[in-house]
Structure 1
Amino acid sequence: MSKLVVKSFSISIDGFGAGPLQSLENPLGMGGMDLHKWVFDTKSFKSMHGDGTGGAEGIDNDFVTKGFENLGAWILGRNMFGPIRGPWLDEEWKGWWGPNPPYHVPVFVLTHHPRPSIVMEGGTVFHFVTDGIESALVHAKQAAGGKDIRLGGGVSTIKQYLKKRLIDEIHLAQSPVLLGSGENLFSDVNWGELGYQLESHVSSLLTNHLVIKKIDL
């Protein structure tokens, strides 16, 4: 049975998942790239985004690897797909990742503005969902074929699914960075009342890995 999961989602000490002033040149906002330093030198990241050689093993690499296991679909908020706002006036934009994105499965992008699906190299197909988060989850479950669905973010999208108790498991990587502003994952959400609890935590040199699961109320 498919689960909706959040994997390897980096946040700052003060709870921000991205910095302010996102742009084409700065997709994670001011200071946002520092949240992800724990990922960049791992063997898994270099295999996916580099020449496939080198990279560190260990705790951080294990979490990156687990984040791509048993996935049949993804869900992304529109900001995770690109910096364009409003109607899709420029349909040449096909995401941050080039012709072969790292997903390799169907990806459902939340938006208020319709756009035809985009077939990319490597098995990634972007579908644009205009009728809400629950509809996107239904489509993702159908596409996943019993495998899990990874919710890629951003913060606003994760919080929408959280408040409806639709997320089964969340892995947060809390990096030793203070952003001070941006989108805060912890504001306006009572995780305990919603039935989420910390299952485990382990630290590496670069981040603190927190695994949170939904429990029965």
Structure 2
Amino acid sequence: MKGSAAMSKLCVRSFSLSLDGYGAGPGQNLDNPLGVGGKALHQWAFTTRTFQKMFGNEGGATGVDDDFAARGFDNIGAWIMGRNMFGPVRGAWPDDTWKGWWGDNPPYHTQVFVLTHHARPSITMEGGTVFHFITDDIHAALQRATEAAGGRDIRLGGGVDTVRQYLRAGLVDELHLAISPVLLGAGENLLAGIDMPKLGYKVAEYVPTPNAVHVVLTKS
């Protein structure tokens, strides 16, 4: 990947973690899309102006938490996400009725590449979001996203397993973690068994707020 690939960075932004390292709780399903207790990880974001604006609401808090949330959408030209983040449906798609958690106008407004083992036609949504379902590997998804991003950055969404795959492959350029004052005890651990220093990651920012500790890791 040459040309725009040199300018595009693959970034994980606003990824919420518990104090004990979990990015999602156990038992993910339609009622608990983030797993049992997982919603508490994102309390720092829910009240921010950026989050409220995503869902068409006025107001919301400003400040450091909102600054980090807003940075998450800055200069993003494409998204990659795992199938778990797209929806709770497992296995072969039973039909085309499920189009994501976000309604008719998802908050992405770019092309979104969903990693899945089961093919499905692309879905064009309101507001410029187009979901593409990629049955190839993570490298193929990144290549497609890089082409779509046109020199802007690519945001890597969840779930935990998707981020772990890209981290292990050394493909994530920047990782913003929002560590919440919550203990989950079980679920999906983001960094377990991954030697981040050996992969070249270092702490570039460390900013505590009453709601979370924001840590930005960059790859040298």
Q: Shift of the alpha carbon at 1:90?
A: 2.5
Query: 2:83 aligned with 1:81, yes or no?
Result: no
Tell whether 2:24 aligns with 1:31: no
Q: When the two structures are superposed, what TM-score results if normalisation uses the length of structure 1?
A: 0.97
Q: Structure 2 unaligned segments of length 5 or more: list them.
A: 1-6
Give me the whole-angstrom Cα distance separating, in 2, the residues matched to 1:169 and 1:187. 18
Alpha-carbon separation, structure 2, partners of 1:16 and 1:148: 26
Give me the identity figure in percent: 62
Q: How many residues align?
A: 214
Match of 1:196 among 198, 201, 206: 201
User: What secondary structure, in the 3-state scheme, does the structure 2 residue paired with 1:9 have?
Assistant: strand
Instruction: Look up the equivalent residue of 2:43 and give its one-letter code.
Output: K
1:202 is displaced (CA, Å) by: 0.4
Counterparts of 1:135 and 1:50, CA distance in 2: 33
Structure 1 letter corresponding to 2:15? F
> RMSD of the TM alignment (CA)?
0.7
- Deviation (angstroms), 1:91: 1.4
Normalized against structure 2, the TM-score is what? 0.96
Q: How does 1:43-192 map to 2 (within 5 A)?
A: 43-51=49-57, 53-192=58-197
Q: Which runs of 4+ in 1 moved over 3 A?
A: none
Give CA-to-partner distance per residue, 1:27-58, whole Å, 9 cap, x none.
1110000000000111111111142x221110
Distance (Å, rounded) in 2 between the aligned partners of 1:177 and 1:166:
29
With 134-143 and 152-161 compared, the bigger mean Cα shift is at: 152-161
1:139-197: CA deviation from partner (whole Å, max 9, x where unpaired): 00000000000000111111110111100000000000000111101211010111111
